[in-house]
Every structure is written in C-alpha cells, then in structure tokens.
Chain A
C-alpha cells in the first residue's frame, strides 16, 4: 500500500504563515495534490506538483522534492476562512490517488 504522512493538527494566528508538511512512500509517482476540506463539505483542489520546486498560487504555495518524497503547503496571510483540513494526495504509478489523513488547521484571531 501507500504511505502518506502529515501532521494531525496545527494552530496559527490570523495574518501568520503556516507550513504543512507531507512525506510519502508510494509505488510509482505521477504527481502530488493538495486539497482543502472545510468541515462537512467536499474536498476542493488547491495545487498540483509533478516536478521539483515551488508552485505559487496567490496566498498558497506548494513545494515538491521527489528525491526526498516530501512536499509542503504554505499558507500565507492566514484568514479565519482558512480554518479547514488540508489533504495531501499522491498519484501513484497506476494513476490512482492515495490520500493522507489530513491536517486540521485552526486559525485564531
């Protein structure tokens, strides 16, 4: 099976920066995704990395190192609406997605 690890919970202050790490061991690699999921809602797509490096999209950035099996999602200028669960997902050699258990981020005023 696949092994995808991310922290269970993180707390940060409004306006701050938070970095969510994800490490993975999978059978083959065809890209890494980050999804956001608010409580009681469906996951929504945030970012995709397939090559090493940083992808920036507004306040959110995602980094990938394939040799280290490592990614992070960086959330800048945190807002209360960013309180959610963030899911790391790896697409394996068969093009199927395996998800981590998710990191619940709580933003405090």
Chain B
C-alpha cells in the first residue's frame, strides 16, 4: 500500500539519550517534512527537504537534525533528548513544495 510509514509508533525515552525517528515514503515524492504537534500550538515545522541531498531548517529546528540520503527516507535525530521534546511527531511528503502534503501516522515521543 502506497504511503508514508513512521517508526516507532510511540517511545518513552530518558533525557539525554539519542533517538532517531524513522520516516519512509514509497510515493517517490521529492519533498519531505518533519513537524511536531503540541496541544494548543498546532503543527510546527522542524526540518524539511525539497529533494534528496538537500535539507533546510523550519520554525523549530534546535535540538534536531535530519538527513536525506535518498528519495524515500528522511530520519529525524534527537542528539540528546530533553523533556520539552515530548510531542507527537509527524512526517509528511509532497511531490514538490507546491503540492499538498501527505502525512504519516505519527510517532508519540515522551522524554522523561
């Protein structure tokens, strides 16, 4: 089934630990995005990639890094997790940065 997958579905993490959230899409979309969603704040863009090999910073990039080695995968890494990074993380993709975005099912991350 075509779409976007994210792993893990949920995770509880100790503060200071390193964590990578995985995102894979099989729609051959060029652009991919990472958002976090917090109650009352809506979705906020963390990092994005308009095409394989390029990445850019969004609204809230601090504490996060991404890579885009190929078209399908766009992992998000928290180098040293902090409690304020507790959130629901959504990965999204679009054919280009002018098209509608399709969202993955999300990863619920809790940092203690």
Contact = CB atoms under 8 A, between A and B. Distances in A.
Contacts of A48: 100
Nearest to A2: B59
B106 A42 contact: yes
B1 to A, nearest CB: 14
B100 A87 contact: no
Given A42-B103, A42-B106, A101 B41 contact: yes
Contacts of A44: 103
A101 B40 contact: yes
Contact of B48 (A1, A30, A89, A96): A96
Interface string B86-112: 000010000001101111111000000
Contact of A45 (B33, B41, B102, B104): B102
Contacts of A41: 105-106
B78 interface: no
Q: Which of A31, A44, A96, A100 has the most CB of B within 10 A?
A: A96
Contacts of A100: 42
B22 interface: no
A43 B100 CA distance: 11
A96 B43 CA distance: 12
A65 interface: no
Interface string B46-85: 0010000000001100000000000000000000000000
A43 B58 contact: no
A31 B96 CA distance: 14
A48 B90 CA distance: 20
B13 interface: no
A42 B90 contact: yes
Interface of B: 33, 35, 40-45, 48, 58-59, 90, 97-98, 100-106
